[in-house]
Amino acid sequence: MISRLRSFGAFWYDFIVGDDWRVAVVVALALALTYGVSRTSVPAWWLLPAVVVVVLPVSLRRAIRGG
Amino acid sequence: MTGGALFIAVFLACAVEAVEATTIVLAAGTARDWRSALLGLGAGLLLLAAVVAALGPALTAIPLQSLRLVVGALLLVFGLQWLRKAILRASGRKALHDEDAIFATELAAARAAASHRVGYVPDWYAFTLSFKGVMLEGLEVAFIALTFGSNQKNIPLAAVAAVAAVVVVGVAGVAVRAPMARVPENTMKFVVGVMLTSFGTFWAAEGAGAHWPGSDAALLALVPLYALFGLGLAGALRPRPQPRPVVYSPEGVSE
């Protein structure tokens, strides 16, 4: 039973998070930051694209070094 | 986002997954038993239809802002995964998805397995192989169709695009009775990765309270910018050819 639950969890983890969990963490943090900035008078739309531009090359570099 | 863009995004994403599922069903049918493989395919499609029918109305009941935040975040993480893999493959850092090789592996495994009948299914192995392939690849199809459709308040159009992709790929697969190795799978994955990342960025930011300059028109900038960025990364990561060693000898220099 426990091993089935574990494999069920592993399937969903792999399905959504994939090979690099740091990407998911950074996206979550960026969304929290976007929410915080959107409460102020400062525009918040640029935060997520900026995070994508940084996180994608970093994740690729890690994949190349690791692989 | 127009209906056309929604249709194209869902159609391409679903076609990629359908190619992978078709390879598995073809392997099960060719190596084992076509009836069992097709029964597995039908059972998988029925279960997927039930998942979509159950989750579709539930998703449309969620307030749009919360839906965009959660779904946008999921699509963004999901899209970055696709884009990452497509860039690694395009740059030669990861082996291309080889449907011929996958077909051969599945075929060998299917031929080696023992056979037994369960109820109306003549070959349980072929049934489960086909069922699992359709379910696992199909879940991604259902996820993409539901998230795109619910955000655009047009789940029926997304479902039509998904079904159209499955039918086109399925008919092509049955017609050639061979893995569709000529489908430019990585290019399609790159395009889908760009679209998922763009729509994920757009919806997640909106859900978190940001306002895009130009509203929906911001997507028209995000999609090409991410595409150019991805292509640039793929080019930059491509290994440079090593210079040929220069050999010094008394007769002179030779390469």
- Span A9-28, pLDDT tens digits: 787 777 777 778 899 999 99
* A38:B210 CB<8 A: yes
What span, in angstroms and rounded, lies between the C-alpha atoms of B83 and B196? 9
Taking the Cβ of residue B34 and every Cβ of chain A, the question of whether any pair is shorter than 8 Å is answered with no
Nearest CA in chain B to A30: B205
Most A CBs within 10 A among B51, B74, B81, hence the mutation to make, goes to B81
Residue A35: predicted pLDDT: 94
CB pairs below 8 Å between A and B: how many?
A: 99
Min Cα distance B252 → chain A (Å) is: 39
How crowded is residue B250: how many other Cβ atoms within 10 Å of its Cβ? Answer: 4
Closest CB to A48 among B81, B201, B229:
B201
pLDDT tens digit string along A33-60? 999 999 999 999 999 999 999 999 999 9
Taking the Cβ of residue B80 and every Cβ of chain A, the question of whether any pair is shorter than 8 Å is answered with yes
How crowded is residue B170: how many other Cβ atoms within 10 Å of its Cβ? Answer: 16
Taking the Cβ of residue B94 and every Cβ of chain A, the question of whether any pair is shorter than 8 Å is answered with yes
Taking the Cβ of residue B66 and every Cβ of chain A, the question of whether any pair is shorter than 8 Å is answered with no
Classify B73 as helix, strand or coil: helix
pLDDT tens digit string along B66-96? 888 888 898 899 889 889 988 988 888 777 6
For residues B109, A15, B60, B216, the Cα torsion angle rounded to the nearest 10 degrees is -120
- Would A34 be classed as within a structural domain? yes
Q: Where are the alpha helices (DSSP H) in chain A?
A: 2-16, 21-38, 47-66
Burial (0-12, 13-18, 19+ Cβ within 10 Å), B6: buried
Burial (0-12, 13-18, 19+ Cβ within 10 Å), B225: middle
Residue B162 confidence (pLDDT) above 80: yes
B46 or B108, higher pLDDT = B46
Q: Which residues of B touch A22 (CB under 8 A)?
A: none
How crowded is residue B43: how many other Cβ atoms within 10 Å of its Cβ? Answer: 17
Taking the Cβ of residue B45 and every Cβ of chain A, the question of whether any pair is shorter than 8 Å is answered with no
Q: Give φ, ψ of B196 to 5 degrees.
A: -65, -40
B238-255: average pLDDT: 65
Min Cα distance A45 → chain B (Å) is: 5
A37 or B148, higher pLDDT = A37
Closest CB to B237 among A35, A55, A60:
A60
The residue type found at B204 is A
Closest CB to A56 among B80, B204, B218:
B80
* B210:A16 CB<8 A: no
Residue B64 confidence (pLDDT) above 80: no
The residue to which tokens 């395919």 are assigned: B41
* B218:A56 CB<8 A: no
Split at pLDDT 50, 70, 90, the class of B209 is very high
Structural domains of chain A, count: 1
Classify A54 as helix, strand or coil: helix
Taking the Cβ of residue B61 and every Cβ of chain A, the question of whether any pair is shorter than 8 Å is answered with no
| Token pair belonging to B198 | 């763009």
B34-60: average pLDDT: 84
- Would A2 be classed as within a structural domain? no
Residue B105 confidence (pLDDT) above 60: yes
How crowded is residue B187: how many other Cβ atoms within 10 Å of its Cβ? Answer: 14
* ipTM field: 0.90
Residue B253: predicted pLDDT: 54
Q: Which of A51-65, B16-30, B101-115, B137-151 has the highest mean pLDDT?
A: A51-65
| Token pair belonging to B77 | 């993480």
- Would A14 be classed as within a structural domain? no
Closest CA to B161 of B2, B1, B6: B6
Min Cα distance A1 → chain B (Å) is: 20
The residue type found at B247 is V
Q: Which residues of B touch A35 (CB under 8 A)?
A: 208-209
Closest CB to B201 among A28, A52, A57:
A52
* A63:B88 CB<8 A: yes
Split at pLDDT 50, 70, 90, the class of A30 is very high
Residue A27 structural domain? 19-66
Report the first-to-last Cα separation within chain A, whole angstroms.
34
